[in-house]
Structure 1
Amino acid sequence: MDTDPTARTGIDEHPGTGTAPGADTETPDPFRAVESELGMLMRRSHAISRQLARTVHPDVDPSASPLLARIAKTPDVRASELAALFGVGRGTMSRQLARLDELGLIERRADPDDSRGQLIRLTELGTRRSEDVRATGRAFLRTALRSWSDEDTALLAAQLARLNLDLGVPPDLD
C-alpha cells in the first residue's frame, strides 16, 4: 500500500467538482465541490502533519507542529489563549503542553499579572525543532506547488486566510 500522503487517490474526478468524467452535471454545486476538496485537503494535511511531527519527536502528536509554531510566533502566551485559538478545551491544551514540556520543547513561567496563570515559550530545543519542521513544511509546499506562479501562490494564501477568518466565526444555526 502506498503510504505517501501526497499520492493521488486514483479516483478519476474532475478537479474541484467531485464528479467522475462523463457524469451528468447540469449545474455543479460549488459548495459540494468545496466540501469535497476541503475533505481531501484535510486528510492529506493530517497525514503530512503526522510525518512532520515525527521530525520534532517520534512521540509528538501531529497537533504539536502548529502549536509550536504559534508559541514561537507569540512567546509568553497563555494556555487559555492557545486553547481558544485552536478551538480545543483547556484540559486538552493542558495535556498537549504537558507533553511538550516533558520533551523539553517548552518552558513555563509564572504570569506576573496573574499568579494563577503561566506564560509559555519555546526552549532553545523547541525553537530549533519548530524551525526545522517549518522549513521542511515550506520545502514540501515549494515542491508541491512548483508549477504554480508566484501570483497563484499568493492568491491561494489570500483565499486560505479569508477562509480561515470566516471559518473562525461560529455559524448562526438558529
Structure 2
Amino acid sequence: MCAVVDENFRELERELGLFLRRAHAASAAVARGVHPDLEPAAYELLALIAATPVVRASDLAAHIGVGRGTMSRQLSRLAELGFVARRPDPEDFRGQLLSLTDVGRERLESAQASRRGYLHTALADWSPEEIVDLSRQLARLNGALTQARQQSAAGAPVPRAV
C-alpha cells in the first residue's frame, strides 16, 4: 500500500511540475501581451489588485508569500508603466493603497480575454461539468497548499503520507 501511495505522489509531483512549467511559460506570454517588459509575477499582481481594489502592498505580499522588498520593486515597476496608482493609507501612515489605473485595467482585461480564449481552445472537448470539477479541485489544492505553508511557517510539523 505504501509503495502505491508513494508512486501516486511521484506521479502527482511530475504532473504538477509539468503544469507549473507550462503555466509559467503561458503567464510570461500573457504578461508580454500586457507590456513587453512585464514579468509574469507582475501580471499576477495586476490581477490581484483588480480583484481586490484599494488593497495594501503588505497584504499583497502576505497573500503571495513574498517579502516587502520584492513587492515594492514589482509595484514600482507597475507604477512606472502607468498600470498601478498608489495613495497613502489613511489608517496607516507607512502603508499605501493600490488600485489599477484605467490603462492598467484595459491591458489586464485584454490579457485575461486572451488567456480565456486559450483555455476555451485547450479545453474544447471538456464538458462544462469537467471544467467546474477541475476548478473545484484546484481550489481545494490551493487551500491545502496554503494551509501547509502556514503550518510550516508556524513551525508546526507537516504530516507525512503513510
Q: How would you bin the TM-score normalised by the shorter chain?
A: 0.7 to 0.9
Q: Which residue identity lines up with residue 147 of structure 1 in the other structure?
A: D
Residue equivalent to 1:7: none
Q: CA deviation at 1:27?
A: 4.2
Q: CA deviation at 1:70?
A: 0.7
Query: Which of the pair has more CA radius of gyration?
Result: 1
Percent of aligned pairs sharing the same letter = 54
- Going by fraction, where is helix more abundant, 1 or 2? 2
Residue equivalent to 1:147: 125
**What are the equivalent positions in structure 2 for 1:160-171 lying under 5 Å apart?**
160-169=138-147, 170=149, 171=152
**What are the equivalent positions in structure 2 for 1:19-34 lying under 5 Å apart?**
27=4, 29-34=7-12
Residue equivalent to 2:70: 92
| Deviation readout 1:130-156 (Å, 9 max, x if unpaired) | 111111111111110111000000000
Residue equivalent to 2:61: 83
Residue equivalent to 1:123: 101
**What are the equivalent positions in structure 2 for 1:13-24 lying under 5 Å apart?**
none
Q: CA deviation at 1:87?
A: 1.0
TM-score by length of 2: 0.88
Residue equivalent to 1:36: 14
| Secondary structure class of the residue paired with 1:146 | coil
| Deviation readout 1:2-41 (Å, 9 max, x if unpaired) | xxxxxxxxxxxxxxxxxxxxxxxx8472111110100000
What is the RMSD computed on CA atoms of the aligned residues? 1.4
| Secondary structure class of the residue paired with 1:120 | strand
Q: Which residue identity lines up with residue 63 of structure 1 in the other structure?
A: A
Q: Which residue identity lines up with residue 67 of structure 2 in the other structure?
A: G
Q: Which residue identity lines up with residue 92 of structure 1 in the other structure?
A: T
Q: CA deviation at 1:173?
A: 3.7
Structure number with the bigger relative contact order (C-alpha 8 A, sep ≥ 6) is 2
